[in-house]
Structure 1
Amino acid sequence: MFRFIRKVLFSIGLLFFGVLIGIQEANEGMLKMKGYEDPQFKDALTFQYDGDEGYEATILGESVTKKDLEEKKKQLEEMGAFNFFTEMAKKIGGFVTDFFEN
């Protein structure tokens, strides 16, 4: 079951990046067809190195940084988001621990 889920998640990730590459190719095709650069056409996926801050990714015109991801993680922790699999793993771990202690 775990191998199946891993294959499905890998396939979904691969298809997602394929879509981003397709959007990028379509953007380049539009620029070639138009003959000049239009600021309204943004790259689908770009990476820039900012020296001290490291790499900065831009997906569909929106900047994604490590700081943004950390803020979202804190926000989810504050909301107390419920993760079914984490709770099940904790219960199973507690059961196994109790079983072997007795």
Structure 2
Amino acid sequence: MIKFFFKCALLISALFIGVLIGMQYANQGIVEMKGHEQQNFTSPVGVSQDREGNVEASFLGNEVESETLSEKKEKLEDMKAFNAFSSIGKALANIIESITNEIVNFIASLI
């Protein structure tokens, strides 16, 4: 089951990367066919660096900034909201981890 999950995840990520590469090539083909570059034909995925050394990324025309992610993380840490599903998931993960460790130790002692 785990092998199947990893195979599916790998396949989905490979196909997603392939779609992004295809969009990039299609954009380049449109620009070459027109003969000149216009502002309304933007690259689907772009990374640029300004004079100060800050790296800016855009994904499908939307600016992606690392500051927004850090701000969201700080907001979540400030809220310190209790999530019942999160605590249940952590407890379940700890139980499964301890059971797995015991099984591995038992099998290792037999060998």
Match of 1:93 in 2: 94
Contact 1:21 1:44 in 2 (8 A): no
Which structure has the larger Rg over C-alpha atoms?
Answer: 2
Offset, 1:33: 1.0
1:38-93 superposed Cα distances (whole Å, 9 cap, x missing partner): 1100001111234443x322111111122122234456665959696873342352
Task: Name structure 1 gaps, 5 residues minimum.
Answer: none
Asked whether the equivalents of residues 45 and 60 of structure 1 are also in contact (C-alpha less than 8 Å), the reply is: yes
Q: How does 1:42-61 map to 2 (within 5 A)?
A: 42-50=42-50, 51-53=52-54, 55-61=55-61
Quick check: 1:41 aligned with 2:41?
yes
Distance of aligned partners of 1:61 and 1:94 in 2 relative to their CA distance in 1, 3 Å threshold: same
Letter in 1 for 2:88: E
Higher RCO (CA < 8 A, seq sep 6+): 1
User: TM-score by structure 2 length?
Assistant: 0.63
Alignment of 1:76-91 (within 5 A): 78=79, 87-91=88-92
Q: Which runs of 5+ in 2 are unaligned?
A: 103-111
Query: 1:46/1:36 Cα in 2 relative to 1: closer, same or farther (>3 Å)?
Result: same
Q: Percent identity?
A: 34
Cα offset, 1:19, TM superposition: 0.9
SS of 1:48 mapped into structure 2 = strand
Q: Distance in 1 between matches of 2:40 and 2:14?
A: 27
d(CA) in 1 for partners of 2:26, 2:68? 28
